[in-house]
Structure 1
Amino acid sequence: MTPDQAPSHPRVAGLLLAAGGGRRLGGRPKALLRHDGALLVERAARALWDAGCARVHVVLGAGAEEVRGRAELSGCVLVDNPGWGEGMGSSLRAGLRSLGGTDARGALVGLVDQPGIGPEAYARVLDAFSGEASLVSAAYDGRRGHPVLLGVAHWAGVAGAARGDRGAREYLRAHSAEIRLVECGDVADAYDVDTGADLGRLRPGGAH
């Protein structure tokens, strides 16, 4: 899996948080759930490539070895997060840390359990990147959601505030005046796959 065309933003990396263990899904790693004929981790990584990211880092945790063995993620940098059980915050910290040695000046952050968000929404948020101080969030009917774009000037602050399952939430709340919201409700559906009931929204073999 590699980009089909030159990246539209060569200084922005895609950062996919795919470490969740799916405790409310019987312990199945979310990355290995299927939708429209592909694994969720494959779909989300492809969406980041197709949006125009220069590189894609995928943070793995639950079932990491199985994900490595089953998912087509060639071209992606796979980041192991042994502390994934602590929550999304630990994966965000691991992902940002993995970008520290690259030339990326921004990170476009997506979640593996939101298959209703595709390349159109990622591209919209990515196109709002304006430099190292960028702080951009998708919005759905005016409410902030994912993906989120973090300029490198914010990485240390986000990592310091990312605890438990809150991810970047506390940091974004504290810096709400700086956030540029990009409406994506017309091109994406930001539902989460968290419970057994949510599995009904997936089409493992594809659309019929």
Structure 2
Amino acid sequence: MTGTAAGPAATAVLHAVILAGGRSSRLGGTPKAGLRRDGTTLVERTVDAVREAAGVVVVGPGDLVLPEGVLRAREDPPFGGPAAGIAAGLRVLEALPPARWTLTLACDMPGVRTAVELLLDAARTCPGASGFIAATPDGRRQPLAALYRSAVLHEACAGRDLAGRSVRSVVRDLALREVPVPEIATEDVDTWDDVQRHHLS
């Protein structure tokens, strides 16, 4: 994975937008992205889960420590919400060779690697779909563990004021195929109980 040029456009089949710009209000402002398990931060774990990507951008504060080669973006306005964060990430990725697919991930799901692997498997077996969205056994769809055809995601975000908008409201009309994932794959970290349950510090 690299955040810079990745060879001819034909080889750049995957980009990833990772959101790490929330207020972490239920953690008293402690940034989720910097929580660690076994010495690795949540944002580092999420970047590692998308190592197949030709370009990765993390949307969040400028002082967030990121792995080498990962691009940065900030939603406008700051704390403008996840939809605005995706739009900001897409703008930065426009500097790279185009990719067929774009992953959108929140950085606070410790088990997201499993979801990423299942989403990419789905795209390989059904390449004509508009996109794929992780769905847990109880039927919950997670648009921040999803794989979108890049052109479709760009069109959904283009020319719209996305500040304060939810991702669900932006992608709800897209024909996304559900990909069953285990519950642990999209469990997020919102509270200190979640921190303890996922063995973070």
Measured against the shorter chain, the TM-score band is: 0.7 to 0.9
- Counterpart AA for 2:49: A
1:179 aligned residue: 176
2:59 aligned residue: 59
- Residues 12-161 of structure 1 aligned to structure 2 (within 5 Å): 12-49=14-51, 52-61=52-61, 64-65=62-63, 67-68=64-65, 71=66, 73-81=67-75, 83-102=77-96, 103-118=98-113, 120-129=114-123, 130=127, 134-141=130-137, 142-145=139-142, 146-154=144-152, 155-159=154-158, 160=160
Q: Contact between 1:92 and 1:162, CA under 8 Å: does it hold in 2? A: no
Q: Distance in 1 between matches of 2:156 and 2:190?
A: 28
**How much has 1:153 moved relative to structure 2?**
2.3
Can you give the 5+ residue segments of structure 1 that lack an aligned partner in the other structure? none
**How much has 1:101 moved relative to structure 2?**
2.8
Give a deviation string over 1:59-93, Cα, whole Å, max 9, x none.
122xx31x23xx4x112112233623122122111
Q: Distance in 2 between matches of 1:27 and 1:165?
A: 21
Normalised TM-score (structure 2): 0.80
Matched position secondary structure for 1:181: strand
How many residues are matched? 187
Q: Distance in 2 between matches of 1:148 and 1:38?
A: 23
Which residue of the other structure, out of 172, 190, 194, is the alignment partner of 2:190? Answer: 194
Q: Distance in 2 between matches of 1:165 and 1:22?
A: 18
Give a deviation string over 1:94-134, Cα, whole Å, max 9, x none.
0111122322232111101111222x320221233326x62
Q: Distance in 2 between matches of 1:14 and 1:86?
A: 19
Q: Contact between 1:139 and 1:182, CA under 8 Å: does it hold in 2? A: yes
Cα distance, 1:161–1:83 mapped onto 2, change above 3 Å: closer
Q: Contact between 2:16 and 2:56, CA under 8 Å: does it hold in 1? A: yes
Cα distance, 1:115–1:108 mapped onto 2, change above 3 Å: same
- Counterpart AA for 1:109: T
Matched position secondary structure for 1:15: strand
